[in-house]
Amino acid sequence: MRFGILGAGAVGGYFGARLAEAGENVAFIARGAHLEAIQNSGLRIESENGDACITNSLATDNASEVGHVDFILFAVKLFQTEEAAEFARPMVGPNTSFVCLQNGVECADTLSRIHGPEKVLNGASYISAVIAEPGLIRQTGKFSSFSFGEADGSDSERGRHLKEACDNAGLAPTYSDKIDVLVWMKFVRIAMMAGITSVTRKPIGALREDPDIRRVIEAAIAEAIAVARGKGVDLPDHAMAQELNQIDDFPATMVASMVHDLTGGKPMELDWISGAVCRFGREVGVPTPTHDAFFAALKPYKDGG
């Protein structure tokens, strides 16, 4: 099958590299110094799951060079969603499907509005990785997978094909019949992680054992869970316990990707993470004081610079 990776940053680049390593036809969409490095020296992966260097795949900043693909792994920053959805048009044929791999919960709705709901598989990624330098993606920890599914929970031919290709690449994705629950559970977690590690500029290992900070972590999770349920998402009764267990299992050095944007002076996804929790909370009448504080503290930096 043909895969287009849009964009080939830390998340999309890692998954695309593993698919290419397994023999799939993969085209990487990147730009700037990262693209130049991939074109000159290949896309390099450093990971506890094994290092790799992909040198025989197309890397470009022009979607027309890629042409129609079977799947577009959609992993651009949240503030690039609309622009990237339009950019992708030359890659979209009659049998093309988008796979949402962003941090937020609005990607599938945006892609459905622009390309049609029949073109979209909602999903969520689970990986800690950064672009360590142009052309090099460095992964932290061993977890590196994603979940995806049809909006109606059905078992589809395209879903089975995607699952098989990714299993062959060692990614072992979850093909879920309740993808909205998994997407929101990931969002609950990432919203807390992005807020607390960005505000403190500290990794989770330095925060989760402190009782004062632990109360803030729990409050942030509880608010996002309440918002999800207010929007009609059927999160499990054990959602809080599950999220806390996940956080306690994270590598001590882990920070949210937003921290790297903040410290690097880059635009941040704040409006679509804590900002979204606050926005959704107002829509459904759920108070979100912890995320209100995260948003206010980080707002002066959200445009980078």
CA distances from 217 to 82, 191, 197, 224 (A): 31, 10, 10, 11
- Give me the pLDDT at residue 141, please: 82
Q: Domain boundaries in the chain? A: 2-177, 181-301
Nearest to 122 by CA among 80, 85, 159: 159
d(CA 293, CA 297): 6
Please, what are the averages of pLDDT over each run of 10 residues along the chain (305 residues)? 96 98 98 98 96 97 98 97 98 98 96 98 94 95 93 97 98 97 97 98 96 98 98 97 94 92 96 98 98 98 91
To the question of domain 181-301 being in CATH 1.10.1040.10, the answer is yes
- Give me the pLDDT at residue 140, please: 84
CA distances from 286 to 53, 227, 238, 275, 295 (A): 47, 6, 20, 14, 16
Matching residue, tokens 């290709």? 165
| Fold held by 2-177 | Rossmann fold (3.40.50)
